[in-house]
Amino acid sequence: MRLDVITIFPEYLEPLRHALLGKAIEKGILSVGVHNLRDWATDVHKSVDDTPYGGGPGMVMKPTVWGPALDDVCVGKSAGWQLDSAAPHVDKPRHDDLTGREFEGYVEPAEEDKPLLIVPTPAGKPFTQEMARRWSGEQHIVFACGRYEGIDQRVVDDAAHRYRVEEVSIGDYVLIGGEVAVLVIVEATTRLIPGVLGNASSHEDDSFSDGLLEGPSYTKPREWRGLAVPDVLFSGNHKLVEEWRREQSVKRTRERRPDLLEGLE
Ligand code: ADE
């Protein structure tokens, strides 16, 4: 899988290169490009935002910077460009105002050939384990990190010509920008790619994978600070252990997330 992240804070994405994801990069399962949006800014101040039409607080990120950035990152992979660094791609052809050419319309790729563009926003659809499962089979995912009051809506509308676009939220709260949401989405998605987790079955019992929360786990010692591991786990009876785990899972889900039980039999 190829991941590209466009952000004004490339350092925020550094964790993508550590631990299991770093190993996946070394193994060639994953490749990651992090790009500084300011590399596509054209004025001396490298500005990426402007005041909102209609007034109001905050700033909105400019379409004239985001458009060329997304164009370059979209075709970069298939054109074999080196996108592993945050280097600017200013010598590459673009369709719009940076080259001074008139916009000539789009050549629309087939839907299945379009990379997936994920735009994290509190106004997006809720991110779920099911999305992570689906996206773990993608070839190329591009993330657009907004800051301030968000990105000019036309960026997303225009990108739909070259990308399959998903605007997603990681929860009902507002972050300062999309970077942390990208880390969350990438981690949840890439751990489901075969070969990323050491043990292939590690995620089979995950919370949410069967619609329930995962129950408690225990390891040695059998007794610790007066707390004993439940006897059933020493019974040697696999069926009994499975039944107990299922009960614990249902109990925990009923206590913590009764909403999840509503949709289940
Ligand atoms: N950007 C700011 N808040 C966010 C959220 N809750 N989810 C995704 N992206 C965001």
Please report, rounded to a whole number, the percentage of residues in the chain having pLDDT higher than 70: 87
Same domain, 83 and 147: yes
pLDDT of residue 88: 36
User: Among 61, 125, 172, 175, which residue has the most ligand 1 atoms within 8 Å of its CB, making it the best to mutate?
Assistant: 175
CA distance linking residue 63 with residue 142, whole number of Å: 17
Same domain, 145 and 236: no
Same domain, 174 and 215: no
Same domain, 130 and 209: no
Domain membership of residue 51 as a residue range:
2-191
Weakest-pLDDT range from 9-23, 57-71, 133-147: 9-23
Same domain, 121 and 238: no
Same domain, 112 and 147: yes
178 lines ligand 1 (CB under 6 A): yes
The reply to whether 11 falls in a domain is yes
Weakest-pLDDT range from 94-98, 129-133, 247-251: 94-98
pLDDT digits 0-9 by tens, 172-227? 999 999 999 999 999 999 999 999 997 766 677 788 878 899 999 999 999 999 99
Where on the phi/psi map is residue 28: left (φ > 0), alpha (ψ -120 to 50), or beta?
left
pLDDT of residue 58: 94
Same domain, 130 and 245: no
pLDDT of residue 179: 98
Of 164, 206, 245, 257, the catalytic one is 206
CA distance linking residue 175 with residue 157, whole number of Å: 23
Same domain, 11 and 132: yes
The reply to whether 37 falls in a domain is yes
Q: Which of 163, 191, 219 is the last residue of a domain?
A: 191
**Residues sharing a CB contact under 8 Å with residue 116, sequence separation 6 or more, in sequence order:** 135, 138, 140, 141, 142, 163, 164, 166
Same domain, 228 and 168: no
Same domain, 227 and 131: no
103 band by pLDDT with thresholds 50, 70 and 90: low
Residue whose entry in the numeric block shows the structure tokens 């942390």: 180
User: Among 127, 145, 167, 170, which residue has the most ligand 1 atoms within 8 Å of its CB, making it the best to mutate?
Assistant: 170
Of 138, 149, 205, 214, the catalytic one is 149
pLDDT exceeds cutoff 90 at 158: yes
**Preceding omega of 221 cis (within 30 degrees of 0):** yes
pTM for the whole thing?
A: 0.87
The CATH number for 258's domain is 1.10.1270.20
The CATH number for 100's domain is 3.40.1280.10
Give the mean model confidence (pLDDT) for residues 67-77: 86
Catalytic site residue 166? no
Domain count, the chain: 2
Q: Which of 142, 168, 191 is the last residue of a domain?
A: 191
pLDDT of residue 106: 67
47 lines ligand 1 (CB under 6 A): no
Give the mean model confidence (pLDDT) for residues 125-142: 97
Same domain, 216 and 187: no
**Residues sharing a CB contact under 8 Å with residue 107, sequence separation 6 or more, in sequence order:** none
**Residues sharing a CB contact under 8 Å with residue 230, sequence separation 6 or more, in sequence order:** 218, 244
Same domain, 16 and 145: yes
Ligand 1 centroid to residue 67 C-alpha, Å: 21
